[in-house]
Amino acid sequence: MILVGPPGAGKGTQAARLVDKYRILHISSGDMLRAAVKEGTALGIEADLFMKAGKLVPDEVVIGMILERIAKPDCANGFMLDGFPRTRPQAEALDAAMLRAGFKIDNVVLIEVPDALLEERACGRRTDPETGTIYHLKYNPPPVEVASRLVHRKDDTVEAVTTRVQKYHSETAPIVPFYEAHGILKRVDGVGDPDVITQRITKVLGA
């Protein structure tokens, strides 16, 4: 499974629920890269050279790591990719590499949320630096006793959110028609209570 959606669509919340419900592994491309570097695998060493040089890790290296990771026993029941692919060329390369390796993506879930609501959601977020808990001034107000220590992240300003949403539309959104053409895209309305959105996702995924 791949979970897709613009920044602020609620992917983090839904990902945690789905991996728990379906008992599948959550594979974050960032965590995977760091783990491979720490373990000193061949691909991890290669990736580390690019990162130390301040360069992006090439898609073929990331895809190689994904193939290694999903071949491990703990992915036998399924997995959810997070953070990759972010562009159509990455989606096409990943699909071809997985096909050659005998794997395939069954579902790509797209959480759809209007841009105006994305801005409101992101700009209202506040993080508790002591517990890591994320609150929202409107949708999930913090308790009075912790309110004074909450932090407003730099990437949750109107300007930053607008930039991130524009980047999503220009770079990531083009993967949607690619997966739609493969017949595995599932569109889900991401507006409303998180519990209701979870129910919508599980409904489109069926059995």
CA terminus-to-terminus distance, the chain = 14
44 in any annotated domain: no
For the stretch 147-156, pLDDT in tens is 999 999 887 8
Q: How many whole angstroms from its chain centre is CA 200?
A: 18
Does residue 207 surpass a pLDDT of 80? Answer: no
CA distance 137 to 154: 16
Selecting among 21, 38, 138, 153, the annotated active-site residue is 153
pTM reported for the whole predicted model:
0.84
Does residue 121 surpass a pLDDT of 90? Answer: no
190 in any annotated domain: yes
Selecting among 88, 164, 167, 187, the annotated active-site residue is 164
Number of domains in the chain: 1
68 in any annotated domain: no
How high does pLDDT run on average in the chain? Answer: 92
Selecting among 69, 125, 126, 200, the annotated active-site residue is 125
In which domain, by residue range, is 161 found? 2-24+77-205
Calculate mean pLDDT across residues 39-67: 92
Do residues 80 and 19 lie in contact, with contact meaning Cβ atoms separated by under 8 Å? yes
CA distance 166 to 162: 6
H/E element holding 80?
strand 79-82
CA distance 28 to 34: 10
Calculate mean pLDDT across residues 125-129: 90
The yes-or-no answer on residue 86 being catalytic is: yes
How much is the pLDDT for 25?
Answer: 94
The yes-or-no answer on residue 17 being catalytic is: no
Tell me how crowded residue 162 is: count the other CB atoms within 10 A of its CB. Answer: 14
CA distance 192 to 135: 16
- Any idea what the CATH number is for the domain that residue 159 is in? 3.40.50.300
How much is the pLDDT for 201?
Answer: 97
Dihedral over alpha carbons 4, 41, 67, 50 (to 10 degrees): 50
